[in-house]
Chain A
Amino acid sequence: MEQQRVSRLQRIVRSKAFTLFVLLAVLILGFGFLSPVIKRGAMFFHSNTLKTTLQDLSIPAFLAIGAGCLMVSGSLDFSQARVGAFGGIIVAAGIQWWGLNWGAAIIIALALSAIIGLVNAILVNELKFQPFIATMAMSSVIYSVMYLVATDRTGQIQSTINFTNEGLTKIIDWNLKIGSFELPGTVLLLLAAFVVYGLLLSKTRFGRQLYLIGGNATAARLSGIDAKKTSYFLFINCSVLSGLAGIIYTGRTRQGSLLALANDQFTGMTAAILGGISFGGGSGGMGGAFLGLLVIKTFSKGLAIINVNTYLTNVLSGALLLAALTFDYFSQRSQRKRIGI
């Protein structure tokens, strides 16, 4: 009895989630004590910090979910940021230029995102492109189509399309009031999404199949799993979620932009890797991805509060990705050592 308890404790301490919790606690405490010391910096311990951090989460969260599911199955998608920007441009142009109502604009944007996902899946599954190069090539194709959409009647290319629409703004900015604290509606949506996809991965037949495909594609095929069909679903799913992220961004900033989400290009993937979805596929889950995302956004929020230059956040996103991969490498190596390979 005693023995078992110790081993359970050990298991918890060794788990990735525990490491992430510790990291998160260190970050929060560190920034909390650092922010009053540094002049010009705002306070980190402030209810506003919590609210804006959560709000910042909602956009990369959908990217992380889409990327996470794909990565579990051993694939990836580099076109996420561009698909998001594309969805946003469609919504903005649809409302402002084409006279659509906001619901129809959103449906069209999501449908087009789904088509992009379908093309990605065809390139990868039928033409056997490597996922990263297929999605990168698609990124530049999407970018060119965005230029077409953003060309106004006079033939000028607008890098941003401003729009006004009360209905959409109201939905995006809706808050749930809990006492004096306002919880943004998008945060509720993202939490729900994490729970749904978390359950999908861990509790359903379909989710288990993803892990098998990611861990050992040959074994998955031999056991009768249709890896191709799954891949189609995952690519379309990832693109639709990216489109959704872009629409939320557009709704919040009230403009469609050619460069929307550019800073979040790797955030989803980095969060997934940090959270234990290893790059080769077959491991990790949505809980880890959520924690990873929380760590990344707390870090960047903290840096912004203690007044670190915004250009350095770009450095940070790359460095974090590399750090997560290095971490992944060492944890995989120690795991292999433990098994004795």
Chain B
Amino acid sequence: MPKQSFIKRTIQSKSFLLLAVTAGILILTAIVKPVAFSLANGRELLQRLSYSLVFLCGVSMLLISGGIDFSLSSMASAATVIFAQLVKMKVPWGGAALAALAFGAVAGLINAFFVNKLNMMSFIATIGMSSVWAGFAAWYTRGMQISVVSATFNKISKIYLPSTSKGLIPLVFVIGAVLVLAYSLVLKFTRFGRSVLMIGGNAAAARLAGLKPKLVSSLLFVNASVLGVAGGLIFASQQKAGGPALLTTTMPEMTALTASILGGVAFSGGSGSLAGAFSGVLLIQVLAYALQVMIPTLTWVQLFVNGMLLVVALTVDGFNMKRRLKKLGIKSAGGGGRMIMPGAK
């Protein structure tokens, strides 16, 4: 009996739905373009997933706590510039990577300062910081990319498991997947994880219950930035370069945001899991790659579908919220398109 309910729960869960859609896309691709299922395509898809997953951990945790960070891609791009420049100046790549991660931590602290000390709304503060980092990086490099001159570092993203010439899974993908698993366990089973959920749900109540919402939020901003830099370094290893616009064209934080909401993380915080968000990333990247393979010339359709995904995700999220409120007997508030102010803690 309990087994049946477990199966039922699994089938009704968001992750299952997303994975089913993903499978549907794969089947469609198999029918339309069977040659697409090659080793090279599989590797490329997993490479793209790898840095998305690293970004996802930071973005999802932050979103669950009620925060948001739009500065990640330009900040991470700036970090790759720092990294590439240090490597060029004969700093060993490990040291350069540490310096880039430290820069990420500082950037996260700056965001945290604006949001938690000056009570700014996180989206506007981080958008401001995003153009600051993009501007600095472009100014320093004159808009150019800097190649990463460390062969060892560039090779990291080319390691495949199992380590034969037919190996499919990149090592960096394993790193991303392990990170998602680790954060998912932290969120589900630790005191800290529970406090993140509670703060996202109701910061004032969390404070009264003895938690420190501002401290947790600041930690998550730093965490998101450091993970953003880590994702940026993976991307730099794949591209063999650092640059001021390295990540701003793909905007991994928007992908992560859309994936989180698709996967059931409420946009206003307080609920969701990393398993759902993981399925969301899978769906987005598989869909994007399938479109690229099936209709390579119709760039606008690819971009359009990508943009519409966020709209769809938010619409579904809105309906879920409405249903939940109805169940609790609360009439939905607001109207007139007014912003809900997360700063009013």
Contacts and interface: CB of A to CB of B under 8 A. Distances in A.
Interface of B is mostly: helix
B303 A144 contact: yes
Interface stretch (B15-23, B123-131, B179-187, B190-198): B123-131
B139 A125 contact: no
B308 A127 contact: no
Given A315-B139, A318-B132, A137 B311 contact: yes
A228 B335 contact: yes
Interface in A203-256: 213-214, 217, 220-221, 227-228, 230-231, 235
Interface residues of A, number: 61
B34 interface: no
Contacts of A329: 118-120
Interface string A298-320: 00000000000101111111110
B338 A315 contact: no
B334 A145 contact: no
B334 A133 contact: no
Contacts of A217: 334-336, 338
B92 interface: no
A125 B335 contact: yes
Nearest to B129: A318
Contact of B131 (A76, A144, A231, A315): A315
Interface stretch (A7-15, A39-47, A101-109, A147-155): A147-155
A322 B114 contact: yes
A113 B110 CA distance: 36
B25 interface: no
B318 A325 contact: no
Contacts of B124: 132, 279, 321, 325
B160 interface: no
Given A127-B315, A266-B131, A309 B336 contact: no
Interface of A is mostly: helix
Given A74-B339, A127-B314, A318 B128 contact: yes
Interface of A: 73-76, 78, 121, 123-125, 127-134, 136-138, 140-141, 143-148, 151, 155, 157, 213-214, 217, 220-221, 227-228, 230-231, 235, 265-266, 279-281, 309, 311-319, 321-322, 325-326, 329
Interface of B: 114, 118-121, 123-125, 127-132, 134-136, 138-139, 142-143, 254, 267, 297, 299-304, 306-308, 310-311, 314-315, 318, 321-322, 332, 334-341
19 contacts: A75-B337, A75-B338, A76-B339, A133-B310, A141-B307, A144-B301, A144-B303, A144-B307, A217-B335, A220-B336, A228-B337, A230-B336, A279-B121, A280-B339, A312-B135, A314-B131, A315-B139, A321-B131, A322-B125
